[in-house]
Amino acid sequence: MSTKTIHFVVNGREETAEFRDDCSDSEVKELFRAAAEVGPLHILKLFSSDGRLLKISPSLQQNDRKSVYTLQLASDYVAAPSQLVAMESRLHRLERRMTELSQSPEPLRDLDRQVEGFKRKLQSVGHLSWMGMFRDDSEKVIPKTRPKLTNKAVPQTSVHGPHTSVHEQRKNVRAQFLNMSSLQVNEEVREHLRTPMFDNWQWEEPEMLLLIQTMFVDLDLVSEFHMESRVLQNFLLEVYGRYNDIPFHNFQHCFCVTQMMYGLIWLTELRGRLGRTELLVMLTSALCHDLDHPGYNNVYQINAQTDLALRYNDISPLENHHCAVAFSILAKPESNILKSVTSEQYKQIRAGMIKCILATDMARHNEILNKFRSIQPSFDFNNTEHKEVLMKIMVKVSDISNEARPMSVAEPWLDCLLQEFFNQSDTEKLRGLPVTPFMDRDKVSKPSSQTNFIRFVLLPLFTELTKLFPCLEQHILEPVRRALDYYGELEKSSKTDQDPASS
């Protein structure tokens, strides 16, 4: 495995981080937290030399001292009590110095006790200002515990040694989410969560689970369908655990699609136009739409004659699989958020989710868009067929909405998507299968991959939805137009560089 070297500045001093390509996200983030001498209560932001926000992960681009990055504490997101932060920071510094010892010295144990005692005191106050989230007094707060450092050397300027297994990582996410599950998100974060401007890169997976839980509560789905808190949490954790660790179709993508759906529901005021059952179908479909995605699309499944293609007779094999996994989760009593609905409601929800998830198969894009285009001029919210088509369109828009987000959020997602595409085309070449043209790393560039997709897929789809909801013009249509201009200019520059005589 190759080793990357990252040069960055934090708190006015230069640091160098080294880590292997096979490190996990959490290991790399812990490395940067150690360099900043802060604990897990803080969120860090990493900026490139030209001011772009970067995702702290193993996919970071190696740089040199001429293009040094800047690591900052995201104080606008974090509001941890200063006393606790100071004690945690001091404790982490001491622990790093003492990791070679077999036992913690008494001053260190003393400080550890002070930190835990201070946390317990915080839980007795009316609110807990921690990452912009507030405590719900109606529920018991599970004490948060700081991870204990072992006697093993703690990474400071490099990450080596075996990385955390997927099982361990998911176990940690589960513990952290359940630890914070009784917290409430403050109004400022809620308002931001309802817009396409939301930046997923600044949130850890346990926090994303808490934000999704908040969406279910805010849309009155928990109260309407009598969902028990622990059952909802189990459901979200089961969903999280069934997304694979692949470049694009992972849990973060699931979160982004669900967040966009939630935002569109608020922006279009669908809470007052559709019933709670329809809202549940749309939000849950967004959440489950790519469950257990293997990172290889339907064309690959069919050409390679995989088990999925054989099982579903080459008909939307992935989307059918996503549906099947979703309902296998709902079949478990401990994660069945629909266990209090009537049999008739269950049939309606199940049928709606299947239709919405199957609609995300891009092979059906023109069929669904043309159907919506035909009914849009006379759309009627009292017409069941019209509502079904709208729900499909809403899930589709949410699924491919990255370019409606700020460029600092959208562009890293394009890098992830291209990585997954290139992985597939490489495999196709190795196995002697037909190579998917738009995934071929030898033929596709970043700008060329986007200009046609935006021009022929995104803009027609987003334009039709905006005709029904004019308020979306500024929120999703204008950003997509700007993205087309941006990638169009990049494509022109690329062609000029390749053929100087044409300029």
pLDDT digits (tens, 9 = 90+) for 34-93: 888 776 656 678 888 887 778 888 888 899 988 999 998 754 333 344 445 555 555 555
Cα–Cα nearest to 289, from 247, 261, 267:
261
Higher pLDDT, 3 or 423: 423
For 470, the 3-state DSSP assignment is coil
Confidence of residue 144 (pLDDT cuts 50, 70, 90): very low
As a whole-number percent, the residues of the chain with pLDDT over 90 amount to: 63
Residue 126 confidence (pLDDT) above 80 = no
| pLDDT in the model for residue 221 | 98
Measured CA to CA, the distance from residue 411 to residue 403 in angstroms comes to: 8
Average pLDDT over residues 405-422: 96
What's the pTM value of the predicted model, to 2 decimals? Answer: 0.72
Crossing angle of the two packed helices 229-241 and 166-180, in degrees rounded to 10 = 160
92, 249, 289, 322: which is the annotated catalytic residue? 249
The pLDDT tens digits for 275-301 are 999 999 999 999 999 999 999 999 999
Active site residue 289: no
What's the N-to-C CA distance of the chain in angstroms?
42
The structure tokens listed for 261 are 């759906």
* Residue appearing with tokens 């046609």: 452
| pLDDT in the model for residue 54 | 83
The pLDDT tens digits for 189-201 are 999 999 999 999 9
